[in-house]
Structure 1
Amino acid sequence: MPKAQETVLEIDLKSLEHNYQYLRSKVEPTVKMMAVVKAFAYGSDSVTIAAKLEKAGIDHFAVAYTKEGETLRAGGIEKPVLVLHPQPHNLTLLIDNCLTPSLYSKHILTEFIKTAEALKLKEYPVHININTGLNRLGFGLEEIDQVITLFKNTLAVRLVGIYSHLAASEDLAEKEFTQGQIETFKKASGKILKAFDHKIMRHLCNTSGILNYPEATFDMVRTGIGLYGYGNSAQEDKKLKPVGTLKTIISQIHNIKAEESVGYNRAFIAKRDTTTATLPIGHADGISRIYGKQKTAVLINDKEAPIIGNVCMDMIMVDVTGIECKEGDQVIIFGKERSAEKLANNAGTISYELITSISQRVKRLIID
């Protein structure tokens, strides 16, 4: 890997392919796999990630919103793209880009049918979301009969997928709840399958579902965080490789005397003579204020340097007392050498939030 000369997010496509193949090995060959590439592919680069996965053999993609799917199509991605949370005002744009909507309520379902009929479409493919306990989006069990009727009364759309979201598949203490979700999904989807005579895919498992509930893989699985190198457990993290490595450099070194302060609001007061390094990365780049005040550390020449004081918009200051370093030296924020999961946990959050927060002003460097 090249040494950083500025703040940069390296995106290692070989690690991506490793993670994809590992997760693929956890399901039967007949089970399809959907890659979740929403939020700039979890803070990396959605088109680059999708293109690599398309070459590797991925079956489907998923994004949160229509504009994200439009970006994939503009980047040459051809595989089916499921839009998990389409909005009524974007339905024509969704259709123009040959994206597949997830329909999660009577309102969005009727709006989509109305749009498809107005455009004189025939059997446009859609998925529906069943609420099995996450209580975020999705049809309730009491609405299933009405959903079936709506589909049977139109030729403009065709139901090709049924899915739901597991709420706590990474937490084995919630196994009973998860198994209840699985049974609810079987009941709801089974009723729908009996109402139609064509093939309808079912998908329920996310990354942790793939790893912890192999009996619930159905026709397809969805994986997001696992593709990017995090398995929601220390054991699985060892088998995956972080795709993104966030690096920066030391801009300046200061010698701070005891009782002097560092940064805004004098949030750090030196208890002893201290050497600090200022780094060109801050909360505008995705390293928010929760990482300051010595709760977390960065890696400089293989040694941990705590982030001191308040994180600034464009800079952070770290304690490098006792660390041999100089201006221009490379700094690892997170990546293979230092897990984003560890950094996030120390600040009281999760790797998902950290990696998806990396600003688009941070340069992306593709490593393949």
Structure 2
Amino acid sequence: MSAANETILHIDLNKLEQNFNYLKAKLNPKTKIIGVVKAFAYGHGDVKISKKLEQLGVYALWVSDFEEGLILRKSGIKTKIMVANPGIKSYSKIIKYKLDVVLYNHKLLDLYCSNKNEVGVHIKFNTGMNRYGFNPNEVESIISKIQHNTHLNLDSICSHLAASEDKNKTDFTLKQIDNFKSISQKFELLLGRKIDKHLLNSHGVLNFTDYQMDSVRLGIGLYGSTSDVNLKQISCLTSVITQIRDLERGDSVGYGTSFIAKEKMKIGIIPVGYADGMNRQLSNTIGSVFINNYKCPIIGKISMDSFAIDITKCKANEGDLVEIFGDQLTVSEIVKKINTIPYEIYSTLNRRIKRVYSDS
């Protein structure tokens, strides 16, 4: 642990390994795992997480843009890296650092066709999410271009599920799966060979295991914030009380004087704010933290670098440890209070927060 840092994200790589193995056990022996480490590995630190996944034998790593891939390569990662949104301007860097590209429109495909460097290519189709992806009626033109450009090493085709976590939308997910199956069959028929296919994400593996195909992409499941109790949250965010104040009845707290004390009370100030990823919707008793196993509500509006808590009924001192999320208060519990998702909580954690890793 860092002796100098007050606010720390503790990351348990052993729990990451347990989650990896739990999800892997649901797969066929030959199904490959693509570890999703975009957005700084969902806030957990992309290099450390990627090195652990590489050690565990992950087939590939999935990042958002070329810069994320470049960071991993420069850090010594040898595993295949797939760039989900390679962009038009990053071609030379992608080639130099031997990154694979996910191509989802003809502008990108034409760019990689016209430049003759060998590169790993993955073709993405839209099956109903209506975000990135070629349309199903573009299969013939895609294959024609690939067959006339042998420097493109076509590794896989893929798509993305929009609602695999929602069992009330099973019909929609099954329709997406059927769409992808139809696209895949046509693609392989025209290509004249089998090709790797991947569609399932973490919730897809948990809820639609029968459709795992050749590979799966695991993200939030690795970090442990799903409805499956067997997957354990791998991180814990802690800070300390940096100041304690006594309030009189009528005193206000924070910007906008949104909290007014109704009686004498004691408050603690915590040096974490919305600049660190502390969601402002947790202000004014919506959110809480734990100190010495006691639940203390957040009062007033969360500031850029700090927030206040009510410690009137809690025996607390300056310097005491504060659990913002962890064993006593999970991220999954927090997001229910503010109608958001774990992805948002994790990915907005500022990199100025110290990350400390354990692997025992």
Output the TM-score relative to the length of structure 2: 0.97
CA contact 2:276–2:305 (8 Å) conserved in 1: yes
CA distance in 2, matches of 1:223, 1:280: 33
The 1:329–1:4 alpha-carbon spacing in structure 2 relative to 1, beyond 3 Å, is farther
Aligned match for 2:191, one of 165, 171, 196 = 196
Alignment partner, residue 222 of structure 2? 227
Listed as ranges, the matches of 1:322-337 within 5 Å are 322-337=313-328
For residues 260 and 138 of structure 2, the distance between their equivalents in structure 1, rounded to whole angstroms, comes to: 60
Q: Which residue of 2 is the match for residue 168 of structure 1?
A: 163
Task: Please show how residues 66-81 of structure 1 align to structure 2 within 5 Å.
Answer: 66-81=66-81
The amino acid of 2:88's aligned partner reads P
Taking the aligned partners of 2:8 and 2:293, their CA distance within structure 1 comes to 18
Gapped runs of 5+ residues in structure 2? none
Q: CA deviation at 1:4?
A: 9.6
2:43 & 2:275 partners in 1: Cα distance?
14
TM-score, normalised to structure 1, is 0.95
SS in structure 2 at match of 1:88: coil
CA distance in 2, matches of 1:183, 1:219: 16
1:247-268 C-alpha deviation (Å, 9 max, x unpaired)? 0000111111111100111011
CA contact (8 A) 1:88 1:112 kept: no
**Alpha-carbon offset, residue 337 of structure 1:** 2.6
Cα distance in 1 between the residues matched to 2:325 and 2:114: 47
1:208 aligns with 2:199: no
- Provide the residue aligned with 2:103 in structure 1: 103
Is 2:2–2:356's contact at 8 Å kept on the other side of the alignment?
no
Paired with 2:168 and 2:232, the residues of 1 have a C-alpha distance of 26
**Structure 1 stretches of 5 or more lacking a match?**
none
1:345 equivalent to 2:340? Answer no
Aligned residues: 359
Q: Which residue number corresponds to residue 258 of structure 2?
A: 267
Percent of aligned pairs with the same amino acid: 38
Counterpart code for 2:62: A
The aligned residue for residue 145 of structure 2 is 150
Q: Match for 1:155: what amino acid?
A: T
After superposition, the CA RMSD in angstroms is 1.5
Q: Give the C-alpha shift of residue 334 in structure 1.
A: 0.8
- Measured in 2, the distance between the counterparts of 1:350 and 1:272 equals 35
Aligned mates of 1:56, 1:208 — CA distance in 2? 21
- 1:306 partner SS: strand
Paired residues of 1:277 and 1:318 also in contact (CA < 8 A): yes
Q: CA deviation at 1:198?
A: 4.3
Aligned to 2:92: 92
* 1:265-344 correspondence runs (5 A): 265-344=256-335
Q: Partner of 2:38 in structure 1?
A: 38
3-state SS of paired residue (2:256): helix
Contact 2:5 2:354 in 1 (8 A): no
CA contact (8 A) 1:292 1:307 kept: yes
Distance of 2:164 and 2:311 partners within structure 1: 40
1:5 Cα shift? 5.9
